[in-house]
Structure 1
Amino acid sequence: MRANVNIYPSRDELSVALAAHVANLAALAGAKQGRFSIALSGGSLLEILAPALCSEQLHDNINWSCWHVFWVDERWVPRSSPASNYGLAEDLWFSRVSIPREQIHAIDNSINPSATARNYESVMQTLFQPRENQMPRFDLILLGIGEDGHTASLFPGHPLLAETRAWVAPVLNAPKPPAIRITMTLPLINNGRNVVFVAAGAGKADIVAKVLTPHNQRQKLPAELVRPTDGTLWWFLDQAAGCSGDRGASG
């Protein structure tokens, strides 16, 4: 699969382009089906996306009422914790827009991790109502990438990389803290209509180059296993992260 790779001169220009892309996909989905389903990762991705998405240029032109927001992964911490993906999204984004609160589907970590994963699948089942043996199909899944090639909370060599049935699963032994997390699995991610990797900064350049120029004689990294089965794969990079080699179209 050839990804659609877009490289922008600066982090600010990356932010504007990414937000415009998300807003366009939301408008198309809203017009077609009356709903836009998006799954978020945390960390620097939200820091890149949220400011431009909440800007005057876009904010008032977005129909926030049709958005349904989920999390690709979440750390097993209170929502008030600086490590909470939900907490970061609340601070940078949700507090500034009018997405109906009942359509922001936070992961419930008041129960044990395995029950939490099952509960999150039930929430998806209720909203998407997929046919038997099918998975939910998100309009957009936003992913970051770690310097080790992990994405979501799917880490190199982890048994969850071989999961084929579950939509959501607990991670009890993540190699970086916090060790306990909840994550979407590769089958669910790869069922997305649009899957977008976002990376910025020189610290991501080596791993981006590695993932976008895979080598058959080594074990594939988690980010390399993201290959939508019937969707489109996108990369949005700033110049610093995308500076190694020719990776296709640039923005």
Structure 2
Amino acid sequence: MTEHLVEKRVVIASDPDTLARAVAERFIHRVRKRVDAGAIAHVSLTGGSMGGRVLAAARDLAGDVTWSKVHFWWSDERVLPAGSADRNETQARHALLDHIDIPADNIHAMAASDGGLQLQEAADSYAAELGRFASEDSAWPRFDVTFLGVGPDGHIASLFPDRPEIQIVDRAVVPVTDSPKPPAIRLTMTRPVINSSQRVWMVMAGPDKAPALGLALAGASYTSVPAAGAKGRGRTVFFVDQAAAAQVPPELIDRDY
């Protein structure tokens, strides 16, 4: 797999609410610009508290977007019953998707535990769905934005430190059967899919994220700090609040982006 040598930017907001609003404004601007140009926008969502805050903030800005030209995906999912409050899909629906005029076929959710598929079948099914929207240069969609949360341990999606899933490059989606963070059973995109995105936006808030951010910026091994291996083709941006930025060297802070 070809690595993309893209400079990592750090954009800092004062607090989580200000951060969520700032990211939401950039997100809506990016999507609107693409669809207004007549193109389809593919967006990969994430879970977590900041993922939900960003989408909730985007809801207030979403009125004039042509959502029929936008497709939503998830970089990972907790394999739980449909509608479970702990599913990333459920969070996204409550925060944004249930409040916009978007065709149901444009929402590409990963399988639920009560959907009738075995775990490997669910991974293969999502990989096949990605393949239906393959772009000219890859076997999956051309993602305009991939949102990622980052755990205190540096994990992204359901790619956890020093585990086999972070090393897989020959499959698009893989099952996780013993996640170190509950729930144990998950599905996750692999690094090649995440890194095919034009823009990778990692959103982090809180002092417990500061060590992981520092390691990711310092060039730690992606096997030990998966966030260090997340790289967009055009942009790789850490959107963080002041508390998470405690260990960021001043020269890495982008005050203009």
TM-score normalized by the length of structure 2: 0.89
* Residues 190 and 33 (structure 1), Cα distance of their counterparts in 2 relative to 1, 3 Å cut: farther
Q: Over residues 25-74 of structure 1, what are the superposed CA-to-partner deviations in whole Å (9 max), with x where a residue is unaligned?
A: 1123213452110011111132220222011xx12232222110001100
Q: 1:36 aligns with which of 38, 41, 52?
A: 41
Q: Is the 8 A contact 2:162 2:224 kept in 1?
A: no
Contact 2:135 2:141 (C-alpha < 8 Å) held by counterparts: yes
Q: Distance in 2 between matches of 1:191 and 1:77?
A: 27
Which residue in 2 is equivalent to 1:108? 111
Aligned positions, number: 246
Contact 2:133 2:140 in 1 (8 A): no
CA distance in 2, matches of 1:219, 1:108: 27
The aligned counterpart of 1:90 is 93
Equivalent residue letter for 1:63: T
Q: Does 1:181 align with 2:186?
A: yes
Give the Å deviation of 1:128. 2.9
- Among all aligned residue pairs of Structure 1 and Structure 2, give the percentage whose two residues are the same amino acid: 31
Amino acid at match of 2:161: P
Q: 1:49 to 1:70 in 2, by over 3 A?
A: same
CA distance in 2, matches of 1:62, 1:240: 33
Q: TM-score, normalised by structure 1?
A: 0.91
Selected match of 1:223 from 227, 233, 250: 227
Report the AA paired with residue 17 of structure 1: A
Q: Distance in 2 between matches of 1:219 and 1:160?
A: 9
Equivalent pair of 1:46/1:92 in contact (CA under 8 Å): no
Task: Letter of the 2:229 partner, please give it.
Answer: L
C-alpha offsets along residues 58-106 of structure 1, whole Å, 9 cap, x if unaligned? 1223222211000110001012222111111111111211122111111
Residue aligning to 2:133: 127
Gaps of 5+ in 2: 1-5
Decide whether aligned partners of structure 1 residues 9 and 38 sit closer, same or farther in structure 2, where only a CA change above 3 A counts: same
